[in-house]
Amino acid sequence: MSQPPELFSEADILARVDELAAEISEDYGDKGGIVLVGVLKGAFIFLADLSRRLTIPRRIEFIAVSSYGDKSVSTGAVRLVMDVRGSIEDRHVVIVEDIVDTGHTLSYLIGVLESHRPASIRTCALLCKADAVEVDVEIDYVGFNIGDEWVVGYGLDYAERDRTLPYIGTVEPDDR
Ligand code: PRP
């Protein structure tokens, strides 16, 4: 089976993760630390690399939603599967996503997390399909803006395939 063609190499990704970690560390340096909330499953590798590069105190939480299933088109319907376990009340929260496509998931998650009364919420996505975003949602930290291609690897899957590729590749419609 052939490997997906490369969009971002492992070196490209890690260099950008370094930059994002430095930016976040600087922004929160005087705030006593943050809680990173990783969105399962796709964000787990990005979260692991980003969190280890921060130079500020950080705590890790996970949240899980269900939206796409194995389909390649978002229905816009998002359902909470698992909420954060620890308290985020009065804490500075950064939601960590692998990709923002339509924005429905991130918008929904901001609402869920706001109900826990954090001190603040910001958002960080490794990839953003800027032209596809359908809802008004602010992404404070973006790794790379991409076009309408379907991407896999570095946590991202297509029907659970290619999630652990070390780089980000594209899947052609014929391969889906
Ligand atoms: C992906 C991605 C985001 C969401 C973005 O998750 O990880 O959570 O879709 O899409 P949106 O902006 O259109 O809402 P997916 O449903 O593929 O689940 P997974 O992370 O478990 O693979």
Closest residue CA from atom 8 of ligand 1: 105
Distance in Å, CA 1 to ligand 1 centroid: 25
Question: Residue 70 pLDDT > 70, yes or no?
Answer: no
Averaged pLDDT of the chain: 93
What are the chain's domains? 9-170 (3.40.50.2020)
For the stretch 94-126, what's the b/e string if a residue is b when 16 or more beta carbons lie within 10 angstroms of its beta carbon?
bbbbbbbbbbbbbbbbbebbeebebeebbbbbb
Atom of ligand 1 nearest to the CA of 156: 22
Residues with active-site annotation: 101
pTM of the model: 0.94
Q: pLDDT, tens digit, for every residue of 88-147?
A: 999 999 999 999 999 999 999 999 999 999 999 999 999 999 888 889 999 999 999 999
Question: Residue 1 pLDDT > 80, yes or no?
Answer: no
Dist. CA 156–CA 152, nearest whole Å: 5
